[in-house]
């Protein structure tokens, strides 16, 4: 029996299989509001047979967007627009759906990637003043962010709480807090971007404080029958930066607070990163964290083959695998994996006749 297609519980949310669709930004929102593109895109992914769909990084306030095209969840307009897309998707898919709540920090206020992705000046019509733990720009071509005051931090936590309440009202099953890829919560974690001398900077305990505070605040308002987890970058891939040892300390702290899962990625904080890109290159970080915590651990990163994913689960390197670019390229990846591994997935009855002639159908 395929282990990849065995059930997985993230807190009290049970998935039919261990394939997770990772958050992938679409840069196609209007002032934070989901568009028809989101309905089409999410609808397609919701029919993939994966165990869980996590919506793209969703900003908790306008300044938290990576670009002016990013999805948001900070007012009634953004909530209502997302509700429209979700209602359309849910008509045809029973797949659990989560959302990644985020703030981009100093990596905010950029062009859309297909327009170059460059930083946009605060006084540009599509730009704004960025925030960060310290007034350190991401690179030489980026504006210097404003170092956050205690008042800014307090407002940020309130914005995460407000977005979490809206996520619950939307009927979402799960929240993933974005502490990875060089965005704001990761910026507080890393000594490369956090040079503060208050309770949110300096030693590891202080640098972890904001992420833990946000987790506790969100967990307190999101129903206990729904899951709250965290995505981290386990290393900056830069000497003197955030690394695996610190990630393990953070993961243990989250575990003790009742975190329902941890999603382990790497990199994104510094342009000086040196990443040894190859299949499974991030999986060892997930495995090391899995050995240190009780909560489920999700691995990600160049996982493209069915047997590759099966081996990660069966060899207990991780509890779940997340696909991003791979499932954009092949939205029926779970169908094909199920066929290869002798398993089945849930798919619409309209597609029951889709298997090639003479081959058993992997969909039910």
Task: Based on the residue annotation, tell me whether 329 is a catalytic residue of this protein.
Answer: no
Question: d(Cα 235, Cα 238) in Å, to the nearest integer?
Answer: 8
C-alpha 118/C-alpha 251 separation (Å) is 33
Angstrom distance (rounded) from CA 355 to CA 348: 13
Tokens of 24: 């992938």
Number of other residues whose CB lies within 10 A of the CB of residue 144? 15
The active-site residue out of 27, 68, 138, 183 is: 183
What is the rounded distance in angstroms from the CA atom of residue 214 to the CA atom of residue 209? 9
CA-wise closest residue to 39 among 77, 2, 3, 92? 92
Opening angle at CA 275, ends 291 and 241, nearest 5:
70
The distance in angstroms from the start CA to the end CA of the chain is 17
- DSSP H helices, the chain, are 36-46, 76-90, 150-169, 184-189, 204-221, 244-256, 283-290, 306-314, 325-329, 333-341
Compute the distance between CA of residue 39 and CA of residue 57 in angstroms, rounded to an integer.
16
Helices 150-169, 204-221: axis angle to 10 degrees equals: 30
Residues noted as catalytic: 183
């Amino acid at each position: 029996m395929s282990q990849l297609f065995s059930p997985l519980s993230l807190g009290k949310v049970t998935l039919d299989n261990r394939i997770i669709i990772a958050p992938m930004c679409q840069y196609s929102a209007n002032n934070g509001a989901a568009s028809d593109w989101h309905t089409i895109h999410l609808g397609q992914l919701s029919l993939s047979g994966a165990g869980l769909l996590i919506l793209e990084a969703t900003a908790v306030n306008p300044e938290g967007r990576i670009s002016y095209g990013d999805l948001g969840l900070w007012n009634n307009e953004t909530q209502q627009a997302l509700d429209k897309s979700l209602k359309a998707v849910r008509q045809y898919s029973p797949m659990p759906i989560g959302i990644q709540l985020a703030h981009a920090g100093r990596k905010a206020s950029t062009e859309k990637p297909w327009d170059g992705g460059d930083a946009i000046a605060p006084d540009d019509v599509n730009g704004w003043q960025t925030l960060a733990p310290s007034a350190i720009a991401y690179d030489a071509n980026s504006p210097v962010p404003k170092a956050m005051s205690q008042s800014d931090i307090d407002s940020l936590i309130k914005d995460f709480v407000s977005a979490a309440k809206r996520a619950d009202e939307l009927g979402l099953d799960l929240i993933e807090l974005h502490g990875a890829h060089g965005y704001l919560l990761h910026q507080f974690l890393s000594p490369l971007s956090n040079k503060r001398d208050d309770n949110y900077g300096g030693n590891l305990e202080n640098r972890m404080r904001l992420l833990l505070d946000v987790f506790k605040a969100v967990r307190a308002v999101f129903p206990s029958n729904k899951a709250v987890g965290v995505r981290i970058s386990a290393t900056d891939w830069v000497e003197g930066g955030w690394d695996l040892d610190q990630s393990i300390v953070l993961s243990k702290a989250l575990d003790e607070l009742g975190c329902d899962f941890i999603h382990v990625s790497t990199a994104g904080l510094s342009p000086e990163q040196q990443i040894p890109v190859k299949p499974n290159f991030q999986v060892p970080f997930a495995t090391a964290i899995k050995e240190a915590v009780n909560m489920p651990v999700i691995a990600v990163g160049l996982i493209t083959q069915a047997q590759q994913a099966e081996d990660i689960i069966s060899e207990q390197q991780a509890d779940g695998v997340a696909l991003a670019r791979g499932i954009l390229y092949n939205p029926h990846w779970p169908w094909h994996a199920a066929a290869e591994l002798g398993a089945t997935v849930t798919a619409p009855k309209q597609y029951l006749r889709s298997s090639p002639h003479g081959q058993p159908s992997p969909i039910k």
